[in-house]
């Protein structure tokens, strides 16, 4: 057995698949059992999925006890991703976001302990690429707190980011970009760093499985390729440079406007990736 195979076996990649949030009234009786208490919805969702992207942290600060409670209610191996606060990303000068980033981490994020996954920093569609200012923002993101390594991923939604200068900047800071499957936003599948983050936003609530079987099969294949250290050959990349081949954790979230069938789509993907 080669050294490369030994390394892969010693550091297997995980594929985490889930949805955005867990509190959504239309899911009651569709995803959640009819008479399930609302207080038990997170635990139920976590028994069916392997990750959830928390959106509430984007809009306002949470309390340390909330993070502790969420961590208690999910099983071992389950991971949350969190949206970073809009106060950090929705500003003209990103280099001035330091205080907002610090307040976010001071709010108790680390109380999630080993349930803490990546933090997603989402930018408005009107935010254009400015290499110097965006670089300053990436510099502000803490890479380690209290002895714990932190993961960051950025979601950009303006076509001005479709440039090799942007990819080079991300590689400098080892910060991945979200692959967004969306009707309007740029789709950037360049692999950067040690994990991949995808947001699948073309689900159809008329389909019980959210996506058609053929599309689900295709996504399951892409997620496995990413986890094995490769790059799917059917997704758009900006830079032709090949990243280092190594196992990578993959985070994929089924998120679309209606989102009624998002949990079903996520569960279908989980079944296919196993």
| Cα 197 from Cα 188, distance rounded (Å) | 11
Write down the domain spans for the chain: 3-273
pLDDT of residue 122: 98
**In the prediction, which pLDDT does 11 show?**
54
Alpha-carbon gap, residue 1 to 42, rounded angstroms: 43
Within 8 A by CB and 6+ apart from 80, the residues are: 51, 52, 53, 54, 70, 74, 112, 115, 116, 117
What average pLDDT does the chain have? 94
Give the pLDDT confidence of 139-185 residue by residue, as tens digits. 999 999 999 999 999 999 999 999 999 999 999 999 999 999 999 99
| Among 65, 50, 53, 63, CA closest to 24 | 53
Residues in the chain: 274
Separation of first and last alpha carbons in the chain: 24
Judge whether residue 8 has pLDDT over 70: no
37-52 average pLDDT score: 98
pLDDT category of residue 1 using cuts at 50, 70 and 90:
very low
Element (DSSP H or E) covering residue 213: helix 213-227
Comparing 119 with 244, the larger pLDDT belongs to 119
Domain boundaries 3-273, corresponding CATH code: 3.20.20.410
Contact 184, 212 (CB under 8 A): no
Q: Are 57 and 64 in contact (CB under 8 A)?
A: no
The rounded distance, in Å, linking the Cα atoms of 49 and 207 is 19
* C-alpha–C-alpha distance, residues 159 and 58, integer Å: 23
**pLDDT tens digits, one per residue of 188-228:** 999 999 999 999 999 999 999 999 999 999 999 999 999 99
Model's pTM, two decimal places?
Answer: 0.94
Each residue's pLDDT tens digit, 219-268 = 999 999 999 999 999 999 999 988 889 999 999 999 998 999 999 999 99
What local confidence, expressed as pLDDT, does residue 170 receive? Answer: 98
Mean local confidence (pLDDT), 90-95:
97
- pLDDT of 12 reads 75
pLDDT cut 90: percent of the chain above it: 93
> DSSP for 30-95?
TTB-TT--GGGHHHHHHHH-SEEEE-HHHHSPPPHHHHHHHHHTS-TT-EEEEEPPHHHHSSS-GG
| CA-to-CA separations, 192 to 119, 176, 218, 231, 260, in angstroms, rounded | 15, 5, 22, 11, 32
Residue 10 has pLDDT above 90, yes or no: no
| Residue 11 CB coordination number (10 Å) | 12
The pair of structure tokens assigned to 233 is 């050959």
């Amino acid at each position: 057995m080669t050294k490369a195979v030994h390394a892969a076996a010693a550091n297997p990649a995980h594929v985490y698949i889930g949805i955005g949030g867990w509190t959504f009234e239309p899911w009651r009786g569709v995803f959640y059992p009819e008479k399930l208490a609302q207080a038990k919805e997170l635990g139920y969702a976590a028994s069916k999925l392997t990750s959830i992207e928390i959106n509430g942290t984007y809009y306002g600060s949470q309390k340390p006890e909330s993070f502790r409670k969420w961590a208690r209610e999910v099983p071992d191996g389950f991971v949350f991703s969190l949206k970073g606060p809009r106060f950090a990303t929705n500003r003209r000068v990103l280099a001035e976001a330091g205080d907002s980033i610090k307040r976010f981490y001071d709010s108790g994020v680390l109380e999630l302990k080993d349930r803490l996954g990546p933090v997603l920093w989402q930018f408005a569609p009107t935010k254009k690429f400015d290499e110097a200012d965006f670089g300053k923002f990436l510099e502000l993101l803490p890479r380690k707190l209290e002895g714990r390594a932190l993961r960051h991923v950025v979601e950009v939604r303006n076509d001005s980011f479709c440039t090799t200068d942007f990819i080079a900047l991300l590689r400098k800071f080892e910060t991945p970009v979200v692959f967004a499957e969306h009707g309007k936003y740029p789709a950037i599948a360049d692999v950067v760093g040690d994990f991949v983050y995808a947001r699948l936003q073309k689900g159809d609530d008329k389909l019980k499985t959210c996506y058609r079987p053929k599309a689900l099969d295709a996504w399951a294949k892409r997620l496995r390729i990413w986890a094995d250290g490769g790059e799917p050959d059917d997704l758009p990349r900006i830079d032709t440079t090949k990243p280092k081949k190594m196992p990578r954790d993959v985070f994929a979230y089924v998120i679309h406007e209606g989102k009624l069938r998002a949990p079903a789509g996520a569960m279908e993907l989980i079944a296919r990736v196993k």
